[in-house]
Structure 1
């Protein structure tokens, strides 16, 4: 947790925080615990069964895919995530990166300092085409809190918003088939959980369906996107750009295909869409509440 948790002394909570925990240290560190707070550290069936005192696993994230939830339920252990702490932060990040790509912010910021502007014969330096977001079509894949928040911001700046059908669920009347949404949208943003139905959702075939000038944004789960297929699509110009905040393995290996600096029009950030100061404060506050609620029950 970037923000330290502070508990009411009246609850007598013995709180121990670790900056990081390797897989080999998990069993020792959770032994005898009543509550475990985790983010990405995995708690499998073997680990959960080894802690008979455990009553609550509080996941400091929106998802619970790192916990064996079925085993926890069978053992009477509550698993509680914090689904809404970062909705606005992630949605704002998605729109901010879209602005950066459509308006070529990185290129123009570099041109202001590398001599292209100072050597210009005009008052400005113009290079790649700048595109407005207003009047463009915004495709949202995933209709949870974050998807709806991104749609709200997009409408506020004049974008036309369409939702895709959610894999594994019946299509609603106002939703489009994914292939149609990809073909018609100027930008696509992904806000889906990782499930067997959504893994690899954006692959070589689906990228071929995207509009030639389209931009892909992923702040959902890294494994929603095939990184090799995305790298190829960007190199070939099949799509105009991509903003990626999540990868299938984090931190990535140094040879990850999307770390190649030669890939054009890729804005890659290190899983920070969630991390605004306001979102972190909301997350810390909710975790404190969950732990204190558990202390009251015991």
Structure 2
């Protein structure tokens, strides 16, 4: 892309507060004007991107109606891997390149996934709350056994999603002595011996972890019918996307004992309102909800920021990286 003589390129960032304030995030390789908004409401998007050459967004949606007045816009750099907040078809029709961030979370998300698995498999939070309530003193001996404790070694880990995150989780699971299965796509056969049919994975796994993108085909991929197949009462871990699991059905499965526990880092609404289905599960000792922070180690955020800057700098030189449309 060639810089215009009239003014430096305008780079507009719509939701800076979604990235840690400690993180250095500024293009360096070319003259530019950087306009930073800490947050942007949906009805503010069109006006804020109207004279932008490059837009950076993490969670703020950029839809076709907002693009209509953005005649100068040539690049949308998404400060995340998922791009469902962007109208890709509208961008393609207008010649706008959309790029995303890849590979930055290959340590932080698997570590958070296993933090949830360990906490649930060994009932860490349940025991912590019991100690706070004085249960240890009531027990009158050196320990008590109110909640189940299970080893990971020898258990079966079912992974739905075989991208970089799913495969990183698999390596950790194998190192811990777990049998690892990758799910074939739901409703699809003939994917080869490396993949376990979706329904069979649900039946045979002790722990099921989700690392799939949110698409029409994956929305509510785990619902009441799928919970009914989970014969081993597994743990269900979702550090992927809100919407992969029917959250009402999740609550019913937890309260009825169809599954042994659940650890979620994502929700269909973020932040979830007080009446959100997941908020109604916080009283359960076998449910953990964290606020979409699996990706957010200090190291991962800086890696994301560095990659974002590299994408913008390269685009200005005429190089396109991590293009998704």
TM-score, normalised via structure 1 length:
0.95
Equivalences, count: 297
Give 1:93-104 correspondences, 5 Å limit.
Answer: 93-104=112-123
Quote the residue 2:213 is aligned against. Answer: 193
Q: Secondary structure at the match of 2:72?
A: coil
| 1:178 equivalent among 188, 194, 198 | 198
Map of 1:221 onto structure 2: 241
1:117 corresponds in structure 2 to 136
SS at match of 2:107: helix
Stretches (4+) displaced over 6 A: none
* 1:280 and 2:301 aligned: yes
Tell me: CA distance 1:167–1:35, structure 2 relative to 1, closer, same or farther (3 Å). farther
Query: CA RMSD for the aligned pairs?
Result: 1.7
Runs of 5+ consecutive residues of structure 1 not aligned to the other structure? none
1:279 positional shift: 0.8
1:29-48 equivalent positions in 2, closer than 5 A: 29-48=48-67
Distance 1:211 1:106 in 2: 25
Q: Does 1:294 align with 2:315?
A: yes
Q: TM-score, normalised by structure 2?
A: 0.87
Structure 2 CA distance for aligned equivalents of residues 45 and 31 of structure 1: 13
Residue segments in structure 2 that go unaligned for 5+ positions in a row: 1-18, 320-325
Q: 1:275 to 1:258 in 2, by over 3 A?
A: same
Cα separation, 2, equivalents of 1:258 and 1:183:
24
Report what 1:269 is aligned to.
290
Which has the larger displacement, 218-227 or 41-50? Answer: 41-50
Shift of 1:168: 7.3
CA distance in 2, matches of 1:103, 1:201: 27
Residue 263 of structure 1 deviates from its aligned partner by 3.8
Partner of 1:85: 104
CA contact (8 A) 1:143 1:163 kept: yes
